[in-house]
Amino acid sequence: MKLETTVCVLGAGPAGSCAALQLAKLGIDCIVVDKASFPRDKVCGDALSSKVLTQLKKIDENIAKRLQSSIFKKDSWGVTFIAPNNISLEIPYAPNYLEKKGDPGSFVCKRIDFDHFLFREMKMNPGIHVYESIDIVKQVRTENGYLLSNASGNFQVQAKMIIVANGAQSPFTKEIAGFKVEHKHYIAGIRAYYSGIKEIHDDNFIELHFLENVLPGYLWIFHLPNGEANVGIGMLSKSVARKKINLKKSLLDAVQNTPELKDRFAKANLLGKIQGYGLPLGSKKRKLHGDHYVLTGDAGFLIDPFSGEGIGNAIYSARIAAITVAEAISRDDYSDNFLERYDREVYRVLWPELQLSHKLQKLARSSWLFNFLLRLGSKNKQVKALMISMFHEVNIRKKLASPMFYVKLLFNKS
Ligand SMILES: Cc1cc2nc3c(=O)[nH]c(=O)nc-3n(C[C@H](O)[C@H](O)[C@H](O)COP(=O)(O)OP(=O)(O)OC[C@H]3O[C@@H](n4cnc5c(N)ncnc54)[C@H](O)[C@@H]3O)c2cc1C
């Protein structure tokens, strides 16, 4: 089969499906190709921040509403940070959240459900032509764009414009855009599903355990609507290699032997296998476009370097990609030069956040800092209030990323 199209979206994860949905909103038809057959699993923490809903609303309010009313997700109202010295601090996403309870915007849900939800939204759209179970392994530059094909060559798409959305291991990103994995800008992650963990927070605060031996990184416990929990560890690849850490062993060791976890896991069951996957970080600015293509989501290395969150940024970049491609079509200009505006718009919004998170990630290497900050936060209302506002105000996050902030705290002058 040989297809011809103006736009081909490569990959149907959150970035690919949202790029296609945004294109459809703009009246542009496209072809979407994915190597998986949906519903499919994706190794992830399954925690979706409010950025996801905010971006979906910008694409289509009705899709966002359908997601909000779906039963496969469990709302989450905040985060519990647990420092290496076992002091914990609960930080709601919004101050006075108990009085204002409505929809927190953040939730936990299995990626198999979330991605299938977006996939079905795509399939309902007559302008989006989806091809599943097609592994695109060749991308050849042609006079008018790219020719994508599978290994046997019996599936080919010729497109003027490619929205690359095929994730962290994208052959397009490697071979055409020339990105390389750099261990200081990459996280190694593993995920397990458990049932029967005790002591779940009433308002489903997600749990981040900053354990001494997985810094810079953390062990997470995110509770799912079906009583199961997603438990995993993410750690900077450079440190995994330097400290020769086996993340699977670290996870099992942590839940069996860490004093604050072992009782909670005493009757828990590990469901299936522990699985791993990489997280390409946006802690370095990269060129996200070239003649006839733009890179989105994990294929553009856009994951937050501190939180490991990538779904919100994937959807944001996909939305901007679709808007940029619509402009390119109207001018019939798919050149490197024209597509430069895509990078400008993506980084205008994401770069300040990514830079701050990179600073926080560097600070998180020292366990004493966590111990100090959480001890202070648990005793001092002002520090706790500051940490709560960190979720909403970039200026506050800036403060937390500044070494002077800690010096002032030490001398009680903040
Ligand atoms: C262990 C771990 C924990 C994480 N936890 C979180 C979290 O809690 N919250 C969060 O926001 N983010 C988290 N992330 C990051 C998040 O998973 C990614 O940022 C997100 O999936 C990016 O979406 P995407 O659409 O760019 O890529 P993907 O979701 O990877 O989708 C890519 C799609 O492309 C398809 N594809 C791949 N190769 C080909 C090919 N050759 N041909 C055709 N199709 C192809 C795949 O089948 C897939 O459907 C985590 C990641 C990991 C590894």
The predicted structure's pLDDT at residue 104: 83
The answer to whether the beta carbons of residues 61 and 95 sit under 8 Å apart is: no
The predicted structure's pLDDT at residue 414: 39
59-111 pLDDT tens trace? 999 999 999 999 999 999 988 988 888 888 888 887 777 776 678 889 999 99
Separation of CA 369 and ligand 1 centre (Å)? 31
Decide: 295 in ligand 1 pocket, CB within 6 A.
Answer: no
Tell me, yes or no, whether 142 and 258 share the same domain: no
Residue 52 is part of which domain span?
A: 2-70+109-181+283-356
Beta bridge partners of 47: 108
The predicted structure's pLDDT at residue 301: 98
Separation of CA 213 and ligand 1 centre (Å)? 26
Decide: 314 in ligand 1 pocket, CB within 6 A.
Answer: yes
CATH of the domain at 83: 3.30.9.100
Tell me, yes or no, whether 367 and 352 share the same domain: no
Looking at the 3D structure of the chain, how many domains does it have? Answer: 3
Q: Which of 113, 115, 223, 298 to mutate to test the pocket of ligand 1 (most atoms within 8 A of CB)?
A: 298
The predicted structure's pLDDT at residue 413: 44
Tell me, yes or no, whether 89 and 115 share the same domain: no
Tell me, yes or no, whether 131 and 213 share the same domain: no
Decide: 166 in ligand 1 pocket, CB within 6 A.
Answer: yes
Tell me, yes or no, whether 86 and 98 share the same domain: yes
Tell me, yes or no, whether 81 and 211 share the same domain: yes
Among 234, 252, 280, give the residue marking a domain's end: 280
Tell me, yes or no, whether 223 and 88 share the same domain: yes
Among 220, 246, 280, give the residue marking a domain's end: 280
The predicted structure's pLDDT at residue 403: 58
Tell me, yes or no, whether 295 and 379 share the same domain: no
Tell me, yes or no, whether 206 and 164 share the same domain: no
The predicted structure's pLDDT at residue 85: 84
Tell me, yes or no, whether 347 and 303 share the same domain: yes
pLDDT-flagged residues of the chain (< 70): 100-101, 367, 370, 381-414
The predicted structure's pLDDT at residue 202: 86
